[in-house]
Amino acid sequence: MTPAGRILLFDIDGTLVSTGGAGAVAWKRAFEELYGIPADIGKYTDAGMMDPDVGAKTFEAALHRKPTPQELAQLVQRRLEHLPEAVANSTGYTVLPGVPKRLKQLSRAGHLLGLITGNGDGAAFTKLARGDLIRWFTFGAYASAGLDRAGVVRQAIVRGEAMLGSDVPNSQIYVVGDTPLDIEAAHATGCTAIAVATGRYNVGALRAAGADQVLETLEHELPLS
């Protein structure tokens, strides 16, 4: 397998960018408009969770019942409506260290770059657009109801292999993320987990979670075997 056959799958939040809390702002506005409650997702959810799970857990905690599928879909949609403005106005929005240079280097080296994220596709594009990063990703897999993070990785692998026109050995598929959930999803699908300590978890925590490799930032080259 040549380097051109490698598939590199990147998480977004805490790995490529930090939105400075823009996602939480958009969720809060959605809850306020739909239910009159300024719900704070940070009280009820963890880093790396899927958007539908974030919405459902926050809904249940704030309204003391589970949302119906229609209510959850409307909530996710309303949050997306507010996300572009929240991202554009976020004073804390940051492209994380080394990211533009590293993505360009990996793309030019012939690797196929894809997204794996707990965001829906619209939210993913919105978060990456401000940092001019979407140009590096030709495919991806995104959050949807009933899909866990390992399922997102599996979808991304199928889409990446379809682009390459051939199966790719799992030894040549890498998941790059910043949380233990990314590591767990990589290993559940037989892929290599490269963790980056630019989110909520430090190097020690990511090693303890079982990452195959840990980088402090993407200023460092990816250890691709």
- Rounded distance, CA 23 to CA 12, Å? 12
Which residues of the chain carry a pLDDT beneath 50?
Answer: 1-2
Task: Report pLDDT digits (tens) over 117-146.
Answer: 988 899 999 999 999 999 999 999 998 766
Helical ranges in the chain per DSSP H = 22-35, 51-63, 69-89, 99-108, 121-129, 149-164, 180-188, 203-208
> CA separation (Å) from 48 to 2, 32, 164, 179, 211?
31, 24, 28, 6, 15
Domain 3-18+95-215 class, CATH top level: alpha beta
Instruction: State the pTM of this model.
Output: 0.91
Task: Report pLDDT digits (tens) over 195-223.
Answer: 999 999 999 999 999 999 999 999 999 99
Beta carbons of 167 and 135 less than 8 angstroms apart: no
Q: Classify domain 22-89 by CATH number.
A: 1.10.150
How much is the pLDDT for 46? 67
Which tokens sit at 108? 């030019």
How much is the pLDDT for 10? 98
How much is the pLDDT for 50? 83
Which tokens sit at 59? 């809904």
List of residues 6+ apart from 186 with CB closer than 8 A: 153, 174, 175, 177, 192, 193, 212
**Domain residue ranges of the chain, discontinuous segments joined by +:** 3-18+95-215, 22-89
Q: Are strands 112-116 and 139-141 parallel, antiparallel or unpaired?
A: parallel
- Rounded distance, CA 42 to CA 98, Å? 27
Closest CA to 26 of 75, 91, 79: 79
How much is the pLDDT for 148? 87
The mean predicted confidence, pLDDT, of the chain is 92
